[in-house]
């Protein structure tokens, strides 16, 4: 399943090391993940930082976004039933600290046999936390543009609020497999932005237009969310990209509120890999 990021040969696990036939080797950490991210000498930091990871971990643990897990599991179960797949192999790209991977695994395992989930992210800090917390998932550190998995490995690939690489997704998906993406809807967290910004803006729709895969489904799900203390509000804001593009003076505005009611919304798209690719 895993391939070497240097030469693309298959990796074999021997004790706590993964090695290819060209003797490139990668240690499996004590927490159980493997780092297959090619070194970038220009920067030693990749992906989300510890502040964002901590905020997201605390916020997601409250299950305000459980509707995402519910809808994903519904889509996966329908796909598996239609294609007579009882043991799906799934990849969660951009998995972060593992909340979605773990909850999807737990829920699917109630109805399907031998669910296998691999999960990867460019952030070593996020993967380290995930691997330490969720032992049923196969975690790795890697880039979305060079996924360390062999061709035709997965029935389903998930991309939740993460960058997309159609060429890599197409390579690792089995023929007839699907990619499911989740992105924020137009009014997602608009009330939060209304507190912070003088001129709040709506979210743009996803511009992902695949050239190889075929779009077969789209649905937007919305709900109302109530946060009843400032810590939850602060954690929500800190886990979003808005936090890093907002002035200190605008950030201070959040400290004045102890409750927040806002719409949350998510756009689900399903793309199909034709059998002739």
- pLDDT, tens digit, 9 for 90 and up, residues 173-213: 999 999 999 999 999 999 999 999 999 999 998 888 899 99
Domain 12-38+48-272 fold is Rossmann fold (3.40.50)
Q: E-strand spans in the chain?
A: 12-14, 17-19, 25-27, 34-35, 89-93, 116-121, 138-141, 154-160, 173-184, 214-227, 260-272
Phi, psi of 46 (to 5 degrees): -130, 140
pLDDT in tens, 122-170: 999 999 999 999 999 999 999 999 999 999 999 999 999 999 999 999 9
What average pLDDT score do residues 6-32 get?
96
Number of CB atoms found within 10 A of residue 159's CB: 23
User: Is the pLDDT score of 262 beyond 60?
Assistant: yes
What average pLDDT score do residues 80-102 get?
97
Question: Which tokens hold the place of 3?
Answer: 């391939």
User: Is the pLDDT score of 51 beyond 70?
Assistant: yes
Per-residue pLDDT, 41: 46
pLDDT in tens, 209-238: 899 999 999 999 999 999 999 999 999 999
pLDDT interval class at 46 (50, 70, 90) = low
What span, in angstroms and rounded, lies between the C-alpha atoms of 132 and 102? 12
What span, in angstroms and rounded, lies between the C-alpha atoms of 114 and 225? 34
Distance of CA 193 to the CA centre of its chain: 23
Per-residue pLDDT, 209: 87
């Amino acid at each position: 399943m895993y391939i070497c990021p240097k030469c693309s040969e298959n990796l074999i696990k021997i004790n706590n090391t993964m090695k290819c036939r060209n003797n490139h080797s990668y240690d499996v950490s004590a927490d159980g993940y493997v780092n297959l991210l090619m070194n970038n000498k220009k920067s030693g930091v990749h992906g989300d930082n510890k502040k964002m990871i901590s905020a997201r971990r605390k916020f997601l643990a409250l299950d305000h976004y459980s509707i995402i897990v519910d809808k994903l599991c519904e889509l996966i179960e329908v796909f598996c039933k239609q294609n007579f797949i009882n043991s799906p192999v799934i990849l969660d790209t951009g998995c972060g600290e593992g909340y979605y991977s773990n909850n999807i695994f737990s829920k699917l395992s109630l109805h399907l046999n031998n669910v296998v989930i691999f999960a990867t992210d460019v952030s070593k800090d996020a993967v380290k936390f995930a691997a330490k917390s969720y032992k049923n998932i196969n975690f790795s550190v890697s880039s979305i543009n060079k996924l360390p998995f062999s061709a035709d490995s997965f029935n389903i690939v998930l991309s939740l609020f993460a960058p997309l690489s159609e060429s890599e997704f197409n390579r690792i998906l089995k023929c007839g497999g699907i990619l499911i993406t989740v992105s924020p809807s137009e009014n997602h967290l608009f009330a939060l932005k209304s507190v912070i910004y003088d001129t709040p803006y709506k979210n743009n729709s996803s511009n992902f237009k695949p050239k190889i895969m075929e779009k077969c489904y789209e649905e937007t799900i919305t709900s109302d969310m109530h946060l009843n203390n400032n810590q939850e509000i602060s954690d929500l804001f800190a886990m979003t990209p808005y936090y890093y593009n907002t002035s200190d003076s605008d950030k201070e505005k959040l400290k004045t509120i102890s409750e927040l009611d806002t719409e949350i919304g998510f756009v689900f798209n399903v793309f199909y890999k034709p059998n002739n690719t």
